Protein backbone atom coordinates (compact mmCIF):
# COMPACT_ATOMS: atom_id res chain seq x y z
CA UNK A 1 0.00 0.00 0.00
CA UNK A 2 1.43 3.42 -0.91
CA UNK A 3 1.40 6.20 1.69
CA UNK A 4 -1.52 7.92 -0.06
CA UNK A 5 -3.73 4.84 0.03
CA UNK A 6 -6.44 4.34 2.65
CA UNK A 7 -6.11 1.58 5.21
CA UNK A 8 -9.41 -0.27 5.77
CA UNK A 9 -11.47 1.08 8.68
CA UNK A 10 -15.07 0.35 9.59
CA UNK A 11 -17.81 -0.85 7.24
CA UNK A 12 -21.55 -1.27 7.79
CA UNK A 13 -23.39 -3.98 5.87
CA UNK A 14 -27.18 -4.05 6.21
CA UNK A 15 -29.18 -7.26 5.91
CA UNK A 16 -25.96 -9.12 6.69
CA UNK A 17 -27.27 -12.00 8.81
CA UNK A 18 -27.53 -14.22 5.73
CA UNK A 19 -27.37 -14.43 1.94
CA UNK A 20 -25.60 -11.74 -0.06
CA UNK A 21 -25.11 -9.44 2.95
CA UNK A 22 -23.35 -12.20 4.91
CA UNK A 23 -21.01 -12.90 1.98
CA UNK A 24 -20.26 -9.17 1.66
CA UNK A 25 -19.54 -8.90 5.41
CA UNK A 26 -17.17 -11.89 5.28
CA UNK A 27 -15.43 -10.55 2.18
CA UNK A 28 -14.91 -7.03 3.58
CA UNK A 29 -13.57 -8.56 6.81
CA UNK A 30 -11.06 -10.55 4.72
CA UNK A 31 -10.00 -7.26 3.14
CA UNK A 32 -9.25 -5.94 6.64
CA UNK A 33 -12.45 -4.01 7.38
CA UNK A 34 -14.04 -4.09 10.84
CA UNK A 35 -17.62 -4.95 9.95
CA UNK A 36 -20.93 -4.01 11.55
CA UNK A 37 -23.17 -6.97 10.70
CA UNK A 38 -26.56 -5.27 10.80
CA UNK A 39 -29.91 -7.04 10.51
CA UNK A 40 -33.41 -6.93 11.99
CA UNK A 41 -32.67 -9.55 14.62
CA UNK A 42 -29.34 -9.02 16.39
CA UNK A 43 -29.08 -12.65 17.48
CA UNK A 44 -29.39 -13.78 13.84
CA UNK A 45 -26.11 -11.91 13.13
CA UNK A 46 -24.14 -13.96 15.66
CA UNK A 47 -23.12 -16.69 13.20
CA UNK A 48 -21.57 -14.26 10.71
CA UNK A 49 -19.84 -12.31 13.49
CA UNK A 50 -18.41 -15.59 14.84
CA UNK A 51 -17.14 -16.64 11.39
CA UNK A 52 -15.40 -13.29 10.96
CA UNK A 53 -13.82 -13.28 14.41
CA UNK A 54 -12.78 -16.96 14.08
CA UNK A 55 -10.94 -15.96 10.90
CA UNK A 56 -9.10 -13.23 12.81
CA UNK A 57 -11.30 -10.30 11.78
CA UNK A 58 -13.33 -7.76 13.74
CA UNK A 59 -17.13 -7.59 13.70
CA UNK A 60 -20.10 -6.68 15.84
CA UNK A 61 -23.76 -7.63 15.53
CA UNK A 62 -26.15 -4.70 15.30
CA UNK A 63 -29.91 -5.24 15.48
CA UNK A 64 -31.77 -2.52 13.58
CA UNK A 65 -34.66 -1.90 11.22
CA UNK A 66 -33.24 0.19 8.36
CA UNK A 67 -36.73 1.46 7.49
CA UNK A 68 -37.14 3.05 10.92
CA UNK A 69 -35.53 6.48 11.36
CA UNK A 70 -34.65 6.20 15.06
CA UNK A 71 -33.42 2.63 14.66
CA UNK A 72 -31.19 3.49 11.67
CA UNK A 73 -29.70 6.48 13.45
CA UNK A 74 -29.01 4.71 16.73
CA UNK A 75 -27.45 1.82 14.80
CA UNK A 76 -24.90 4.18 13.25
CA UNK A 77 -24.19 5.73 16.68
CA UNK A 78 -23.60 2.23 18.07
CA UNK A 79 -21.19 1.41 15.25
CA UNK A 80 -19.18 4.59 15.95
CA UNK A 81 -19.01 3.71 19.66
CA UNK A 82 -18.28 -0.01 19.37
CA UNK A 83 -16.30 -0.41 16.16
CA UNK A 84 -15.12 3.00 15.00
CA UNK A 85 -16.24 5.72 12.58
CA UNK A 86 -17.64 4.02 9.48
CA UNK A 87 -16.49 5.05 5.99
CA UNK A 88 -18.18 2.24 4.05
CA UNK A 89 -21.90 1.49 3.81
CA UNK A 90 -23.43 -1.38 1.88
CA UNK A 91 -27.21 -0.95 1.63
CA UNK A 92 -28.16 -4.58 1.12
CA UNK A 93 -31.21 -5.20 3.38
CA UNK A 94 -34.17 -6.26 1.31
CA UNK A 95 -37.48 -8.06 1.13
CA UNK A 96 -39.86 -9.19 -1.60
CA UNK A 97 -43.65 -9.09 -1.54
CA UNK A 98 -44.35 -10.38 -5.06
CA UNK A 99 -47.78 -10.31 -6.66
CA UNK A 100 -49.40 -9.30 -9.90
CA UNK A 101 -50.57 -5.72 -9.73
CA UNK A 102 -54.25 -6.54 -9.32
CA UNK A 103 -53.46 -8.69 -6.29
CA UNK A 104 -50.78 -6.44 -4.79
CA UNK A 105 -51.87 -4.92 -1.50
CA UNK A 106 -50.95 -1.41 -0.40
CA UNK A 107 -48.96 -3.01 2.42
CA UNK A 108 -46.99 -5.10 -0.13
CA UNK A 109 -46.13 -1.88 -1.93
CA UNK A 110 -45.27 0.14 1.18
CA UNK A 111 -43.21 -2.58 2.88
CA UNK A 112 -40.97 -3.04 -0.16
CA UNK A 113 -40.55 0.71 -0.69
CA UNK A 114 -39.80 1.21 2.98
CA UNK A 115 -37.04 -1.37 3.29
CA UNK A 116 -35.27 -0.76 -0.03
CA UNK A 117 -35.72 2.94 -0.65
CA UNK A 118 -36.50 4.57 2.68
CA UNK A 119 -33.99 2.18 4.32
CA UNK A 120 -31.17 3.11 1.94
CA UNK A 121 -32.05 6.79 2.37
CA UNK A 122 -32.11 6.67 6.19
CA UNK A 123 -28.91 4.65 6.52
CA UNK A 124 -26.99 6.76 4.00
CA UNK A 125 -28.17 10.03 5.55
CA UNK A 126 -27.14 8.81 9.00
CA UNK A 127 -23.68 7.76 7.86
CA UNK A 128 -22.81 10.49 5.36
CA UNK A 129 -21.48 13.06 7.90
CA UNK A 130 -18.73 10.56 8.77
CA UNK A 131 -17.81 10.03 5.12
CA UNK A 132 -17.78 13.75 4.40
CA UNK A 133 -15.70 14.42 7.51
CA UNK A 134 -13.21 11.71 6.50
CA UNK A 135 -13.08 13.14 2.95
CA UNK A 136 -13.27 9.49 1.84
CA UNK A 137 -16.10 7.03 1.66
CA UNK A 138 -17.82 4.25 -0.24
CA UNK A 139 -21.53 3.60 -0.53
CA UNK A 140 -22.67 0.51 -2.43
CA UNK A 141 -26.40 0.02 -2.96
CA UNK A 142 -28.05 -3.25 -3.94
CA UNK A 143 -30.29 -2.80 -6.95
CA UNK A 144 -31.48 -5.75 -9.06
CA UNK A 145 -31.95 -6.88 -12.65
CA UNK A 146 -35.65 -6.62 -11.74
CA UNK A 147 -35.21 -2.84 -12.12
CA UNK A 148 -35.48 -3.58 -15.85
CA UNK A 149 -38.93 -5.11 -15.30
CA UNK A 150 -40.05 -8.42 -13.86
CA UNK A 151 -43.51 -9.95 -13.81
CA UNK A 152 -45.05 -9.95 -10.34
CA UNK A 153 -42.59 -7.41 -8.96
CA UNK A 154 -44.07 -3.96 -9.65
CA UNK A 155 -43.15 -2.86 -6.12
CA UNK A 156 -39.66 -4.41 -6.06
CA UNK A 157 -38.85 -3.35 -9.61
CA UNK A 158 -39.87 0.26 -8.88
CA UNK A 159 -37.83 0.26 -5.65
CA UNK A 160 -34.73 -1.18 -7.35
CA UNK A 161 -35.00 1.33 -10.23
CA UNK A 162 -35.35 4.02 -7.54
CA UNK A 163 -32.14 2.78 -5.92
CA UNK A 164 -30.34 3.46 -9.21
CA UNK A 165 -31.55 7.08 -9.31
CA UNK A 166 -30.67 7.51 -5.63
CA UNK A 167 -27.17 6.17 -6.38
CA UNK A 168 -26.52 8.53 -9.28
CA UNK A 169 -27.70 11.61 -7.38
CA UNK A 170 -25.60 10.80 -4.31
CA UNK A 171 -22.57 10.23 -6.55
CA UNK A 172 -22.99 13.83 -7.72
CA UNK A 173 -23.66 15.29 -4.25
CA UNK A 174 -20.86 13.46 -2.43
CA UNK A 175 -18.24 13.25 -5.18
CA UNK A 176 -16.34 16.35 -4.12
CA UNK A 177 -15.84 14.81 -0.67
CA UNK A 178 -14.00 11.78 -2.03
CA UNK A 179 -17.06 9.58 -1.61
CA UNK A 180 -18.10 7.21 -4.39
CA UNK A 181 -21.63 5.82 -4.63
CA UNK A 182 -22.34 2.85 -6.87
CA UNK A 183 -25.03 0.22 -7.32
CA UNK A 184 -24.83 -3.49 -7.99
CA UNK A 185 -27.75 -5.07 -9.80
CA UNK A 186 -27.56 -8.83 -9.40
CA UNK A 187 -29.47 -11.23 -11.58
CA UNK A 188 -30.37 -14.59 -10.05
CA UNK A 189 -28.34 -15.34 -6.91
CA UNK A 190 -28.89 -18.48 -4.83
CA UNK A 191 -30.14 -17.28 -1.43
CA UNK A 192 -33.10 -17.76 0.88
CA UNK A 193 -34.81 -14.94 -1.03
CA UNK A 194 -34.75 -16.86 -4.33
CA UNK A 195 -35.48 -20.16 -2.52
CA UNK A 196 -38.64 -18.50 -1.18
CA UNK A 197 -39.59 -17.44 -4.72
CA UNK A 198 -39.29 -21.08 -5.87
CA UNK A 199 -41.41 -22.18 -2.94
CA UNK A 200 -44.08 -19.61 -3.81
CA UNK A 201 -44.12 -20.98 -7.36
CA UNK A 202 -44.41 -24.48 -5.82
CA UNK A 203 -41.24 -25.59 -7.60
CA UNK A 204 -38.24 -27.44 -6.14
CA UNK A 205 -35.30 -24.99 -5.92
CA UNK A 206 -33.12 -27.16 -8.22
CA UNK A 207 -35.89 -27.18 -10.86
CA UNK A 208 -36.33 -23.39 -10.51
CA UNK A 209 -32.57 -22.90 -10.94
CA UNK A 210 -32.57 -25.06 -14.10
CA UNK A 211 -35.34 -22.95 -15.58
CA UNK A 212 -33.57 -19.69 -14.73
CA UNK A 213 -30.24 -21.01 -16.06
CA UNK A 214 -31.71 -21.41 -19.55
CA UNK A 215 -31.88 -17.60 -19.80
CA UNK A 216 -28.37 -16.91 -18.38
CA UNK A 217 -25.33 -16.62 -20.67
CA UNK A 218 -22.95 -17.98 -18.01
CA UNK A 219 -22.86 -21.76 -17.47
CA UNK A 220 -24.10 -21.42 -13.87
CA UNK A 221 -26.39 -19.45 -11.61
CA UNK A 222 -25.00 -16.79 -9.28
CA UNK A 223 -23.85 -17.17 -5.68
CA UNK A 224 -23.54 -14.49 -2.97
CA UNK A 225 -19.74 -14.41 -3.38
CA UNK A 226 -20.22 -13.14 -6.98
CA UNK A 227 -21.85 -10.02 -5.53
CA UNK A 228 -19.32 -9.77 -2.67
CA UNK A 229 -16.50 -9.66 -5.25
CA UNK A 230 -18.16 -6.72 -7.00
CA UNK A 231 -18.65 -4.91 -3.69
CA UNK A 232 -14.95 -5.44 -2.87
CA UNK A 233 -14.04 -3.74 -6.16
CA UNK A 234 -16.19 -0.66 -5.51
CA UNK A 235 -14.92 -0.37 -1.92
CA UNK A 236 -11.28 -0.64 -2.94
CA UNK A 237 -9.30 2.58 -2.73
CA UNK A 238 -8.23 2.01 -6.34
CA UNK A 239 -11.87 2.36 -7.52
CA UNK A 240 -11.99 6.04 -6.49
CA UNK A 241 -12.69 7.30 -10.03
CA UNK A 242 -15.68 4.98 -10.53
CA UNK A 243 -18.92 6.52 -9.23
CA UNK A 244 -22.62 6.65 -10.02
CA UNK A 245 -22.42 3.35 -11.87
CA UNK A 246 -24.77 0.39 -11.95
CA UNK A 247 -22.95 -2.91 -12.35
CA UNK A 248 -25.10 -5.85 -13.43
CA UNK A 249 -23.80 -9.05 -11.87
CA UNK A 250 -25.99 -11.41 -13.79
CA UNK A 251 -23.84 -13.85 -15.75
CA UNK A 252 -24.56 -11.99 -18.97
CA UNK A 253 -25.28 -8.63 -20.58
CA UNK A 254 -28.07 -6.69 -18.91
CA UNK A 255 -28.73 -3.02 -18.28
Ligand X SMILES: NC(=O)c1ccc[n+]([C@@H]2O[C@H](COP(=O)([O-])OP(=O)(O)OC[C@H]3O[C@@H](n4cnc5c(N)ncnc54)[C@H](O)[C@@H]3O)[C@@H](O)[C@H]2O)c1
Chain positions contacting ligand X, by CB under 6 A? 14-15, 17-21, 39-40, 65-67, 92-95, 115, 119, 142, 144, 186, 188-189, 191-194
Closer Cβ to ligand X, 5 or 199, answer by number:
199
Element (H, E) at 5: none
Closer Cβ to ligand X, 177 or 233, answer by number:
233
Minimum distance from CB of 3 to ligand X (Å)? 36
Minimum distance from CB of 123 to ligand X (Å)? 9
Among the residues of 64-103, which ranges form H helices? Answer: 69-82
Minimum distance from CB of 249 to ligand X (Å)? 8
Count CB-CB contacts under 10 A for residue 231: 29
State the pairing for strand pair 137-142/34-39.
unpaired
Which whole-number Å values give the CA distances from 174 to 136, 164, 168, 231, in the listed order?
10, 15, 10, 19
Nearest one of 225, 228, 156 to 196, comparing CA atoms:
156
Nearest one of 184, 180, 185, 183 to 242, comparing CA atoms:
180
Closer Cβ to ligand X, 188 or 234, answer by number:
188
Neighbouring-strand partners of residue 41: none
Distance CA 156, CA 70 (A): 24
Minimum distance from CB of 48 to ligand X (Å)? 10
Q: Is 241 annotated in the active site?
A: no
Distance CA 109, CA 141 (A): 20
Residue 122 CA from chain centroid, whole number: 14
Closer Cβ to ligand X, 186 or 251, answer by number:
186
Closer Cβ to ligand X, 43 or 53, answer by number:
43
Distance CA 143, CA 149 (A): 12
Residue among 33, 121, 156, 234 flagged as catalytic: 156
Q: What is the DSSP letter of 145?
A: G
Minimum distance from CB of 71 to ligand X (Å)? 8
Judged by DSSP in three states, 248 sits in strand
Residues taking part in catalysis: 156
Amino acid sequence: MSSTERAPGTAVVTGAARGIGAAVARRLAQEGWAVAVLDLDESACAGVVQEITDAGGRAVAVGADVADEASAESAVTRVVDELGVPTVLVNNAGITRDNLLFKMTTADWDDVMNVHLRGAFLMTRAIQPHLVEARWGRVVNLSSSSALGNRGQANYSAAKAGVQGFTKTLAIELGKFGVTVNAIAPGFIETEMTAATAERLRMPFEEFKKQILAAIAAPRTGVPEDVANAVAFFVDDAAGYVSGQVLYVAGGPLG
